[in-house]
Amino acid sequence: MLILGIETSCDETSVALVEDGKKMLVNLIRSQLDIHRDFGGVVPELACRKHLELINPLLLEALEVAKKSWKDIDAVAVTSGPGLVGAVLIGVAAAKAISLALDIPLIGVNHLEGHIYANHLEEGFIPFPSIALLVSGGHTSLILIKDHGKYEILGETRDDAAGEAFDKVARMLHLGYPGGPLIDKLSKEGDPEKIHFPRAMMNRKDNFDFSFSGLKTSVVYYLKSDEGKNAKTADIAGGFQEAVVDVLVAKTIRAAKKYKTTDILLAGGVARNSKLREKMLQKARGQKINVHIPSLLLCTDNAAMIATAGYFLYKRGMISDLSLDAVPNLSLV
């Protein structure tokens, strides 16, 4: 079964063709970073205009690269939320038009479920039960995955998302946007042990929520202190990253043990973080837990993960109709 995937929820326009939820024929991603960088964040109006400009040429390019024609497509899957409402709407409108014109099923996909299914694309399966750590620019959640489409949210951030904290601290350090990859890179030149920042809620045993706003404030105060004024930026970046990663890793492993699962999945843009990948693997090994991490490209927003999640929705008969709408705060459960 060939599914066309469409993703436009934030600042990446992406179109993919995936066979049977596994075989990625093409996964085109056009990042709009160059447009938003100067503003220090995504400007919704500019993102929408760019999606509109890119979507039709990208659809044609995907067919050409995969050497497929419109009539080969069996269904169209599209992100219907969460995300920037105007941006999501452009993908949804394109998918509806394709569904209507080709008379094929339309499948609305939750972007967060898409991130989880990047793991299926990578390895060809999702272990059940498993714990997913979903960390992106807008979300930080620990999720118990019981089966396809059966999720229990164990914990979420009470304030900033992990990616948001990376982006805000990078701005304070005048590193630029997006902050995550810049902090990741700079940290390699610093000493992560030199400056100790707080690990909020790390030792609350039965609570799987996160909080990163206190950590952000600590960095602000540190920068204003005499010690901070003379500190190396790479040490500050490294100390901050270490604090975020320690909390994410400790809570994820604790959740796996509490729910007696032997598999952890990482998902979302922050799963690209080299320290997070390294520490999660290292700590899990000692506990005999397997860690599944999508390749760098599949951690970022992309349409192949949407097509894959869409395939499993289709198999469960979860088809949308033409009333499908963009829902900016769509939740996973």
Q: Tell me if 270 contacts ligand KG4 by CB under 6 A.
A: yes
Q: What is the crossing angle of helices 233-258 and 179-187, to 10°?
A: 100
CB 179 within 8 A of CB 171: yes
Q: Which of 138, 238, 239, 294 binds ligand KG4 (CB under 6 A)?
A: 138
The stretch among 143-151, 223-231, 267-275, 308-316 that binds ligand KG4 (CB under 6 A) is 267-275
> Residue 272 to residues 217, 295, 297, 309, 318: CA-CA distances in angstroms?
24, 8, 8, 20, 30
The stretch among 48-56, 85-93, 162-170, 211-219 that binds ligand KG4 (CB under 6 A) is 162-170
Q: Tell me if 190 contacts ligand KG4 by CB under 6 A.
A: no
The stretch among 94-102, 213-221, 266-274, 281-289 that binds ligand KG4 (CB under 6 A) is 266-274
The C-alpha atoms of residue 210 and residue 158 are separated, in whole angstroms, by 6
| Ordered DSSP codes for 235-284 | HHHHHHHHHHHHHHHHHHHHHHHHTT-SEEEEESGGGG-HHHHHHHHHHH
| Number of amino acids touching Zn ion (CB under 5 A) | 2
CB 27 within 8 A of CB 14: yes
Measured from the CB atom, is 164 or 301 closer to Zn ion? Answer: 301
Q: Tell me if 239 contacts ligand KG4 by CB under 6 A.
A: no
Measured from the CB atom, is 91 or 269 closer to ligand KG4? Answer: 269
Measured from the CB atom, is 78 or 253 closer to Zn ion? Answer: 78
The C-alpha atoms of residue 279 and residue 224 are separated, in whole angstroms, by 30
Q: How far is the CB of 33 from ligand KG4 (least distance, A)?
A: 10
* Residue count of the chain: 333
Measured from the CB atom, is 37 or 257 closer to ligand KG4? Answer: 37
Q: How far is the CB of 134 from ligand KG4 (least distance, A)?
A: 9
Residues near Zn ion, by CB under 5 A? 136, 301
Residues that bind ligand KG4 (CB under 6 A): 10, 136-138, 163, 166-167, 178-181, 184, 268-270, 272-273, 300-301
